[in-house]
Chain A
């Protein structure tokens, strides 16, 4: 069973990574980043399950991670709204270097 969850995490990781890099819409990038973090947490919790006996430290790490993620998501969304109000667009203009 744990192998299944590891593979599942890998699939979700790949999908989220791809969306983060290719979707221009900022809201979608934020959701992709969130889903990416969920995949990483899935890895951690599966690791906890694989240990004998069940290891609660990754659980604490993931709990902390969830709270940190919601904090950063909230900030990202506030920034997104402010950016939209200023520039009227929900995509990042490319930088003028490189």
Chain B
């Protein structure tokens, strides 16, 4: 099996980070080069998955599970990796315009931290070993703390500290769960464990602990409290990366575990609990978003709500009948959300640069370059709300179809109400676009690259909707949670 693919995917960003740290290569160049290498790697990976799929497996170190550990990839991994790379490169390009204007002191360390986060995320998306995931989670958390702390505001540092304590506590809960599973079975590999796991107190407690740890990191109700200030006060490209992909990776891990290793437990009750968590997140996030005065905070709260929405995939799974549809829906939703959320934050950042603040009440309407920014905001908002033909629409529609087919009427209603709520708070932000524009002198020029990236991500979110058919055929017609153990 072509070993070089996962090695390039994980170690290119890591190598780039180290080279930027030793001041051998410049940050932007390293990010773009990494993007280039990853493109090659992902194309190769994608074709291998289509050809030899649905699962690919590698063994770094060459020792078979359970003594050694494993990398794994399927179509979901591929699209997630692609999304992460897109956001990472876009955010980097955005930062080239944003940092010199808004946060020049951060430039020295931004790129190293950015690349480290990217490497951590890639390693998590390919990891099959539970302890490897723990180390990857710590890597990602540390890098994120560093990125949030680049801002100079005291509130940002407070938010970083809160995130630090909460996420490390979450990692500890995760590790406790892993310890229980290892104690019971002597294995750390997801597929190997899935083959032998049974119902039992220790396994249930392990599942609860692991899920709780991951819920904390995905910022779902009731452990969501760290996200708004952390994503709202961080520098804009950082907020985009954190909301669009870091949280998505944590959800990805939770999804992998519950659709694979813990699938035996996913009867009615656990699925109901996960669904309720999602429900609470949708409504809490949405209601709080309605109350916010700052554009960035609206966007931050919407992350909580959107991931709550994606959580509804679990009760729909349990309802049975349309697993593949539900799976496709969740994937499309996460993908579209990533690009759209990045674009929303970028837009908020452009507006902040232009007007020096982002309070909705006082934002004037858009003209010139800012007109494009508002267009991007509108497109991204459309995807988040789920208007056709955007990617968000496809995701939500698939989930709704799956819910209806499985006769999970309660959840279907929740989905519809959630979409309406999303529309309401997104409109709050959007309506400022129609206000009269401010006189030109009061507006600072926004660097072109920032506007371009904002628009690119928004168009991408909508384009996912158009690409739905090829994407879904790539994802596959059958639902295969995990590779066969030992393979």
Contact = CB atoms under 8 A, between A and B. Distances in A.
Given A33-B169, A40-B172, A93 B158 contact: yes
A37 B172 contact: yes
Contacts of A47: 179, 182-183
Contacts of B188: 57
Chain B, interface SS category: helix
A86 B151 CA distance: 12
A58 B141 CA distance: 23
B487 interface: no
Interface string B125-169: 000000100010010011001100100001001101110110011
Interface residues of B, number: 30
Contacts of B165: 20, 29-30, 33, 76
A72 B169 contact: no
B228 A97 contact: yes
Contacts of A92: 158, 161-162
Contacts of B182: 44, 47, 57-58
Interface string A25-41: 01001100100110010
A74 B229 CA distance: 23
A83 interface: yes
B149 A40 contact: no
Contacts of A22: none
A92 B186 CA distance: 40
A79 B131 contact: no
B179 A79 contact: no
Contacts of B288: 97
Interface residues of A, number: 35
Contact of A76 (B138, B164, B225, B229): B164
A68 B179 CA distance: 17
B138 A72 contact: yes
A64 B149 CA distance: 26
Contacts of B135: 64, 68
Interface in A70-93: 71-72, 75-76, 79-80, 82-83, 86-87, 92-93
Given A43-B176, A79-B161, A86-B157, 10 more contacts: A33-B169, A36-B172, A43-B179, A58-B179, A75-B146, A79-B164, A87-B154, A95-B162, A95-B225, A97-B228
Interface of B: 131, 135, 138, 141-142, 145-146, 149, 154, 157-158, 160-162, 164-165, 168-169, 172, 175-176, 179, 182-183, 186, 188, 225, 228-229, 288
13 contacts: A26-B161, A33-B169, A33-B172, A36-B172, A40-B172, A43-B176, A68-B138, A79-B145, A83-B161, A92-B162, A93-B158, A95-B229, A97-B288
